[in-house]
Structure 1
Amino acid sequence: MAALLWAGVIAFFCLVQLNNVPLGEVSNLDKLVHVFFHFVLTVLCFLFFQKYTNAINSLKPIIISFLFSVFFGIGIEIAQESFTITRHADVFDVLANLSGAILGVAVIILFDLKTKFR
């Protein structure tokens, strides 16, 4: 449920016009936001799939979560280009989404390794 809610938050912020939002002077802040969005999405999807697939020690929930996050991000970029006039698809946004998903997988694996060796 949390993963779906978070996906809705991502869709909202990626599809509405945000030209008047003051983002400060941070270079490429939007790319960092994409990384954060997809990091959180990947972790939330993993927690969901791990719980409901009973795959505690399996890579399956990690792979499904990663793929969902990446393809969801690609879908959002396609939607921006196809259904909005103020937003446009950006390959660098896709790369930022991919980076966030990879970071999420890395944190999941590191956390899993740390709990195994306790």
Structure 2
Amino acid sequence: MLKHLYFWAALLWTGTIAFFCLVQLNNVPLGTVSNLDKLVHAFFHFVLTFFCFLFLKSRANDPNSLKPLIASFLFSVFFGIGIEIAQELFTTTRHAEVFDVLANLSGATLMVAVVILFGLNTKLR
């Protein structure tokens, strides 16, 4: 039952990222935080990596395997790169940025560190 919940959470979060990264957001007030969009990118991929990890971990045969964590990290990073390419190719209001990819990578890496530091790889099942 939980693996279905994790699957839908990961899928909905992936769709949320795609939506917010591909639509025009010029009229959204962002406040005065510098580089807020980079923090948002990092947050998006922090959560995406976690949801994917939960789903893949729930399906893993070996509870101590690092494969779900590695696969979640790679999915998040490559999805982020794909979104940046889509912004450049398919939108007129958004453009690909290397710093967005680095923010995505930072968020995914931070989640991997959290999983390892808190031992979530062995605690969650």
Shorter-chain TM-score tier: over 0.9
Once the two structures are overlaid, the 10-residue window that deviates more, 52-61 or 31-40, is: 52-61
Q: CA deviation at 1:110?
A: 1.4
Find the counterpart in structure 2 of residue 24 from structure 1: 31
CA distance in 2, matches of 1:2, 1:55: 23
Residue segments in structure 2 that go unaligned for 5+ positions in a row: 1-7
User: What SS does structure 2 have at the residue aligned with 1:10?
Assistant: helix
Unmatched runs of 5 consecutive residues or more in structure 1: none
1:60 aligns with 2:54: no
Q: How high is the sequence identity, in percent, across the aligned residues?
A: 80
TM-score (normalised: structure 1): 0.94
Which runs of at least 4 in structure 1 moved beyond 2 Å after TM superposition? none
| Letter of the structure 1 residue corresponding to residue 92 of structure 2 | I
Give RMSD over aligned pairs: 1.5
Match of 1:77 among 60, 63, 84: 84
TM-score, with normalisation over the residues of structure 2? 0.89
What is the total number of aligned residue pairs between the two structures? 116
Which deviations, in whole Å up to 9, do the C-alpha atoms of 1:59-116 show, x marking residues without a partner? 1001000000000000000000000000000000000000000001001111217x77
